[in-house]
Amino acid sequence: MVGKGTGKGALSTVLLGLLFAAAPKAFAQTEQVPPIDITHYKINAELLPDSHTLKAQAIVKFKTIKQTQSAVLEMNGSLTISSVKGPDGKTALQFIQDRVNELNVKINLGQLYPAGSDITLTFDYAGPLATPEGGPIADTRLAYVGPEGSYLFYAARWFPFHGYAADRATSEISLTVPGNWTVAGHSANPVTPVTNKDGRKSFTFVETQPVLPGSFAAGQFITRTINSGGMQIDLALLPGSEGRLQEFGQEIAQILQFYNDRFGQYMLGSRFVVAEIDDETLEYYAGSGIGFIAHKTLVSDKPLPVDDLAREVAYQWWGQAVGLKSFDDAWLSQGLAEYSSVLYRESRESAAEFHETLSEIIELALAFEQDASISRAPAQLNDQSPAFRSVVFYKGAYVYHMLRTTIGEDKFFNLLKAYYSTYKGQNTGIDDFESLTDKVSGQKLRGFFGMWIDSTGVPEFKVEYSIIRTKEGKFKVRGTVRQNMDSFKGPVGVALEAEGGRESKTTLDMRGTSVDFDLSSDGKPLEVVVDPENRYLRISDALRVSVVVRRGIQNFQREEYAEAEEQFRSALKLNPRSSWAWYNAGLLYIEQRNWQKARDAFTETLAGDLEPSWLEVWSYIKRGNAWDAEENRDRAVAEYNKAKESGSTYNGAQQAVEKYLGQPYKKERSTQPSN
């Protein structure tokens, strides 16, 4: 499904768990536990693919923060702990493993340890990793051992740890696999496999600085290394998935270099690992220094998912390097990763395209804006829901954009660099970020954070004006901008569109619910536009229509076709001339092979308001596709020629035109335009 901007990253997945390192509530430990700080893991694990089994011993070293006689660690419920030994490595300790509800193990340490004590425990455990059972997400597996290939995510709790996404540690992890397998993972030291007497191989990965460890993939991988922009990208893909290996590797290298320049050097040096995973897990995931991509994404013939890759790689900065104090601070990771992707898009787009990108993010942000504030969303919303994603990811991203326009370009990017350099290797909270923002910007921004982070609601700007013709034959426009929120204040742009184009604009100091303005023009005034640069997250009649369409798009992505059509029809009741609603209805009908209804919808698109303007060229292309599907080549070619005559190149429109003029459209499953 195409988005209203570039139509790629924001809408590319139906899995709301796609993330690299942020700490969703589904993953987070809920019980209050005695505070400990894990400092080091030494793990020896064996993968037995034919029986889908993991066998492991984990030696966990930790320090007590307060005096305690017990410790509670998190553990996957599919893995059964057979013994826990005390600091001497011999004495068996009493423990209780909850494999159903809390997914943890409670250990009686056998004595009272004062604060600051160093303790080492040894865990022996084994079990099957074949289904989501025992993991934090009921219908999605985060660890799998099988003959097709295996993966172990940190979030799966395949080893006992404490404090999801917060308790960093150094590590030495050895994985033993079949002799014809390779293990993909990040290591501070070179990894040289050792062949055992039984022909199996062991790979040892070492992290010398504290990270969130334990994310690996294993299988009969084809491995390649790409060096670009000072970065080394090591790729591990299964046979049959390597066709776009170079394309993915080069793009990821460029993204890493972009973030190095924008935020500060990638914490783990110059090496990043990418590994393939199956389609039964998240579309993307990342551990420290490694990113995972699902098979279906790697082999897709769709355009490269640049926006998704940019968002997910950003978690290496916001989530891995800079961690969270608690899940309530998720905005700092998920919102900033999404906005990092927006910044990468901006670096590749024209001003007009970036304006459409901002419009797209606004629509996604407004879809569930009233459901919860950004700061309360982690506690009030299911983190696997569209509402959570709308509030934390998309509204969260737009708040960063508004912060950028509020404090200025230089101070904003200095803020991001200072945030990264100050908290790299640490955990932080929203209060810390607000304090740093005050310091870098030189102003108190409690009002900004109070309105956009701690509260719900967005302003709605309405304008009233009159036009006066001057003696000189020119025009003056006098009017008032009104808005509905007493708490809102800030500079608001107002522009006058007149015959011949935009003629004048001004910036108003909005400190109440209304402010007056005067504009002038040589040409006849056509429209007064408030906030033409999309500086603020706001609502309007047009946006209300777009938000309903956006919900329909999300239904479409989940293959909820009846619900999607209902949303598009609801949008058309609000605005029968909404080209955006008609266009997406047309895409839905193409997906359902209803060619006549698709052509009718694209005809209505062309007769509508054509907002955004790129809908014209793509409606001709899609109408041509619908004729081609019924083998009416003459009518199809006529539509493609109309698209060609429009001259629009948006999202690769002219390349698509040449493609379909060269060969007829086939009944493809995807309706997403070439981008």
- Stretch 44-48: mean pLDDT, rounded? 98
Choose the CATH number for 541-662 among 2.60.120.10, 3.20.20.70, 1.25.40.10, 3.30.830.10: 1.25.40.10
Query: Edge-to-edge strands of the sheet including 216-219?
Result: 143-144, 150-152, 216-219, 182-184
Structure tokens at 572: 């058309």
Q: Are 218 and 183 a contacting pair, CB within 8 Å?
A: yes
SS3 578: coil
Q: What is the pLDDT of residue 486?
A: 84
Q: Are 20 and 285 a contacting pair, CB within 8 Å?
A: yes
Q: Are 517 and 549 a contacting pair, CB within 8 Å?
A: no
DSSP annotation of 335:
I
Instruction: Give per-residue pLDDT as tens, 2-11.
Output: 334 333 333 2
| Residue appearing with tokens 């990965």 | 205
Structure tokens at 608: 């509508």
Q: What is the pLDDT of residue 14?
A: 27
- CA dist., res. 456 & res. 466, Å (int): 33
Q: Are 466 and 477 a contacting pair, CB within 8 Å?
A: yes
Q: Residue 614: which residues within 8 A CB-CB, separation 6 or more?
A: 356, 648, 650, 651, 653
Instruction: Give per-residue pLDDT as tens, 634-675.
Output: 999 999 999 999 999 888 899 999 999 999 998 754 444 333
- CA dist., res. 287 & res. 76, Å (int): 17
The pTM of the full predicted model, rounded to 2 decimals, is 0.86
Instruction: Give per-residue pLDDT as tens, 447-491.
Output: 999 999 999 999 999 999 999 999 888 999 999 999 998 888 889
pLDDT score of 18 more than 60: no
pLDDT score of 369 more than 70: yes
CATH of domain 321-452: 1.10.390.10
Instruction: Give per-residue pLDDT as tens, 564-577.
Output: 999 999 999 999 99
Question: Which residues are registered as beta bridge partners of 62?
Answer: 38, 119
pLDDT score of 500 more than 60: yes
Residue-range domain boundaries for the chain: 37-314, 321-452, 462-530, 541-662
pLDDT score of 98 more than 90: yes
Instruction: Give per-residue pLDDT as tens, 293-325.
Output: 999 999 998 889 999 999 999 999 999 999 999
- Stretch 146-173: mean pLDDT, rounded? 95
- CA dist., res. 532 & res. 516, Å (int): 17
DSSP annotation of 379:
H
Instruction: Give per-residue pLDDT as tens, 202-223.
Output: 999 999 999 999 999 999 999 9
Q: Identify the CATH class of 37-314.
A: mainly beta
Query: Rounded to 5 degrees, what are φ and ψ at 190?
Result: -60, 145
Residue 217, burial from CB neighbour count under 10 angstroms (0-12, 13-18, 19+): buried
User: How many Cα atoms are found within 13 Å in the side-chain-facing hemisphere of 41?
Assistant: 30
Q: What is the pLDDT of residue 668?
A: 56
- CA dist., res. 126 & res. 80, Å (int): 6
Q: What is the pLDDT of residue 446?
A: 95
- Whole-angstrom CA distances from 618 to 622, 624, 642, 645 are 6, 10, 10, 12
β-pairing, 143-144 vs 201-211, is unpaired
Question: Which position has the higher pLDDT, 3 or 492?
Answer: 492
- Stretch 236-242: mean pLDDT, rounded? 94
Q: Are 391 and 369 a contacting pair, CB within 8 Å?
A: yes
Query: Rounded to 5 degrees, what are φ and ψ at 428?
Result: -140, 165
DSSP, residue by residue, 493-533:
EEEEEETTEEEEEEEEEE-SSEEEEEEEESSPEEEEEESTT
**DSSP H or E stretch at residue 24:** none
- Stretch 581-587: mean pLDDT, rounded? 97
- Stretch 601-630: mean pLDDT, rounded? 95
Structure tokens at 185: 């993972």
Question: Which position has the higher pLDDT, 4 or 283?
Answer: 283
pLDDT score of 27 more than 80: no
- Whole-angstrom CA distances from 208 to 40, 168, 186, 188, 535 are 10, 11, 11, 6, 44
Q: What is the pLDDT of residue 224?
A: 95
